[in-house]
Amino acid sequence: MSCLNNDENGDIFSEVRKLRRTSPSIASVIDGQSQKIENHFAKIYKKLYNSVDDRIEVGNILNKINENICHDGLADVKKITTSIVKEAVGHLNSGNTDPVYDFNSDCFKNAPDILFQHLAHILQALLMHSHVSNFLLLSVLVPIIKDKLGNISSSKNYRSIAISSIVLKIFDWIVILLFGKTFELDELQFSYQAGCSTSMCSWLAVETIGHFIRNGSEVFTCQADKTKAFDLVQHSKLFQKLYDKKLSRIYLRFLVVLYMAQ
């Protein structure tokens, strides 16, 4: 309104930010459903997460991994030491909750070294036997509003965040710390890479377009909106890429078993 009223002190960007800072509200109706909304979301996510059936392909990859596992893999298992577990715990965000037990990541971040020693032994055993307990597989799916100014009564305006086991989050960081260089991320990739963000990607696109415009050229762009693309990914292809990248077979086997068990 300050911009429309010719207010000299008006700042359109501050006005936009004020609009974005809407008070959080909870929808009482989702897609016309007012009763048992959690069950409605459960049906949506069940259909979404089971829409890509690549069980046969994943099973074939698991068989190929098993054929290439030998005693040399024990050396990789022994890389899970007390110090590497402690380092992995240090990368956890504070306040992360566990879907099963009444503790959060701060309990691990402030724990004595004896806990990291026990965790190292447990993770080593899980790797060697390629087994994971059911309580580690449980997760809680929480629908989060994508656009606060959009229709909060539409399920399409929600994205799901999974609250998963803190122990498995620690294992994720162990894999990254031990074998991160194996992934060979591209320098133009802005996601899942330390020190990068989507704002850097936007800046690069704007600067590239600006460069050609300043030099008198026309710029044509092609954009694709991949709705729920991350949820519809074929995990068999991801596992195949990790296999081709020579990720430790015994670690890759455990990741595949985790996926199949869930």
Q: Tell which wins on pLDDT, 213 or 181.
A: 213
Q: What are phi and psi of 167, to 5 degrees?
A: -65, -40
Query: Does residue 109 surpass a pLDDT of 60?
Result: yes
Q: What are phi and psi of 33, to 5 degrees?
A: -95, 125
The number of distinct structural domains making up the chain is 1
Tokens 């691990």 belong to: 108
Whether the CB-CB separation of 200 and 176 falls below 8 Å is answered with: no
pLDDT confidence band for 93 (50 / 70 / 90): very high
Q: Is residue 7 situated within a structural domain?
A: no
Q: What is the mean pLDDT of residues 184-207?
A: 80
Partners of residue 145 on adjacent β-strands: 158
pTM for this predicted structure: 0.79
**Summary count for the chain: helices (H), strands (E):** 12, 2
- CA-to-CA separations, 28 to 33, 38, 154, in angstroms, rounded: 8, 11, 11
Instruction: Give Rg (Cα) of the chain.
Output: 23
Secondary structure (3-state) at 35: coil
Query: Does residue 23 surpass a pLDDT of 80?
Result: no
Query: Does residue 230 surpass a pLDDT of 70?
Result: yes
217: Cβ contacts below 8 Å, ≥ 6 apart: none
In angstroms, the CA 48 to CA 44 distance is 6
User: In this structure, what token pair is assigned to residue 70?
Assistant: 């030998």
Q: Is residue 100 situated within a structural domain?
A: yes
Q: Is residue 4 situated within a structural domain?
A: no
pLDDT score for 18: 65
Q: What is the mean pLDDT of residues 184-190?
A: 76
Q: Is residue 192 situated within a structural domain?
A: yes
Q: Tell which wins on pLDDT, 49 or 110.
A: 110
Q: Is residue 1 situated within a structural domain?
A: no
pLDDT score for 59: 94
Task: Of 88-92, 179-183, 188-192, give the lowest mean pLDDT range.
Answer: 188-192
Give the tens place of pLDDT for each residue, 51-80. 888 999 999 999 999 998 888 788 999 999
Burial tier of 251 (Cβ tally within 10 Å: 0-12, 13-18, 19+): buried
pLDDT confidence band for 11 (50 / 70 / 90): low
Q: What is the mean pLDDT of residues 100-116?
A: 93
The answer to whether the Cα torsion of 190, 193, 198, 204 is positive or negative is negative
Quote the longest CA-to-CA distance of the chain. Answer: 76
Q: Mean pLDDT of all residues in the chain?
A: 87
Half-sphere exposure of 4 (CA within 13 A, CB side): 2
In angstroms, the CA 137 to CA 258 distance is 7
Give the tens place of pLDDT for each residue, 146-174. 888 889 999 989 988 889 999 999 999 99
Query: Does residue 179 surpass a pLDDT of 60?
Result: yes
pLDDT confidence band for 194 (50 / 70 / 90): confident
Full residue range of the structural domain in which residue 25 is found: 12-261
Q: Please report, rounded to a whole number, the percentage of residues in the chain having pLDDT higher than 90.
A: 49
pLDDT score for 7: 54
The kind and range of the H/E element at 247 are none
